Amino acid sequence: MSPRPLFGVFAVIVATSSIYGQVATAPVDPFGRIFTARVRPEVQRINIAKFAALPSASFMFAGIGIGDSEAASSGSLTFGYGGPVKGRDLLLSATYSHVNPDHGEVADRAAAYAELVLAQKGFGTVSGVVTAAYDPGAFKTYGVVLVAERDVVAGRLTATANLGWAEIDPDGGSSIRDVQPALGLALAPDARKRWMLSADYTFKNDVDGEDSASFVVSRSLPRIKTKIKAVAAKHRAYSLSLTRVF
């Protein structure tokens, strides 16, 4: 997935659920990973300068996903909205995940995501992100992140940097909070950007208890406004998702 999510595709990545499955053995924050490869919706930002005055600038999207890791298998369902608010891009989404741990009880979890473009200039784009997740009887987690994006090679290679703060509050345990920096690169092999390759790295922090990395391959299908994304991450975590814009 590119740091600038592309238009099309049927849901947010379920990589969140593969990470959720690890919570049973260690505090792992699903939002500590760079957003381009984890919880960021698979939809493209609208171009405010061109579309802000058009009714079609706003859109809805939905998605489904499946995931598997060393600790659990899972499925997810996502719904979201994107559109201009006072000349700025706003993206909102909510995700329900059903997680089946290899050890322990089945869990139903909810997550929310909000992103607002703060600046879009020649130097790149800076966005603010707020996230939260809740697993009844297990944990709550929160995150606030600044996401900076810049084209290294126009239309082909984009670099992303995250500077985030996160907290995880496990039931029956003490809260853990820390800063979570992350870096990422996304490459468009073809001029139409139908294929995207990206990789990310999150530095070791107290919330995750370790560093993390993942690799993403995605394919856009513009005619049906759909995108397919596959992810491989640390701890043999894999996921596949479809996202569609309406």
**pLDDT at residue 18 in the model:** 34
β-pair partners for 74? 67, 99
Which pLDDT score is estimated for 45? Answer: 56
> Of all helices (H) and strands (E), which one includes residue 18?
helix 15-20
What CATH number corresponds to the domain at position 199?
Answer: 2.40.160.40
Does the residue 8 lie in any domain?
A: no
Query: In terms of Cα–Cα distance, which of 77, 93, 72, 63 is closest to 19?
Result: 72
Q: Identify whether 7 is part of a domain.
A: no
Q: Are 83 and 114 in contact (CB under 8 A)?
A: no
2 is a domain residue: no
Whole-model pTM?
Answer: 0.80
| Beta-carbon contacts of residue 246 (< 8 Å; ≥ 6 apart) | 59, 60, 61, 62, 225
- pLDDT for res 60: 87
* DSSP, res 123: T
Q: What's the total number of domains in the chain?
A: 1
Q: Which pLDDT score is estimated for 77? A: 92
Domain that holds residue 101: 15-245
Q: Would 210 be classed as within a structural domain?
A: yes
Identify the pLDDT of residue 195: 92
At position 111, the amino acid (one-letter code) is A
Neighbours of 50 (CB within 10 A): 9
Domain-embedded: residue 103: yes
Q: Given this model, what pLDDT does residue 14 score?
A: 32
Domain-embedded: residue 3: no
pLDDT of residue 29: 38
Residue numbers of the chain with a pLDDT score lower than 50 = 1-39, 47-53
- Determine, yes or no, domain membership for 4: no
Beta bridge partners of 112: 94, 132
Predicted confidence at residue 55, as pLDDT, reads 52
Q: Is residue 5 part of a domain?
A: no
